Structure 1
Amino acid sequence: MQTRHERGQGLVEYAIIIVFLAILCIVALQFLAGGISNSLYDTVISNL
């Protein structure tokens, strides 16, 4: 049987995992957005 403290600890662990995944997604999107915008810019410039 879990005590109240153990249930709270589980919630904190899930929150830490969610925050870690959110940071990972933000960093990945920043890298991808930079690559996409640069390639789009290069394509437009080369076609002009």
Structure 2
Amino acid sequence: MTARIASSSSRPLGADGVHSRTRALAFGPEERFVHDLGYRISARRTSSGW
């Protein structure tokens, strides 16, 4: 199945979330755009609130 999207409107395409079916139809498989950037984040709450 191939999706073709043509529009003469300047309105943005609406896609509801990162894993949206609309986004997949417009841009192709998610695997083409998902890349691990190597960032890691850790957080911990202490007694002082920070």
Task: Give the TM-score normalised by the residue count of structure 1.
Answer: 0.19
Is the radius of gyration larger for structure 1 or structure 2?
Answer: 1
Task: Give the TM-score normalised by the residue count of structure 2.
Answer: 0.19
Q: Which has the higher helix share?
A: 1
Greater relative contact order structure (CA < 8 Å, 6+ sep): 2
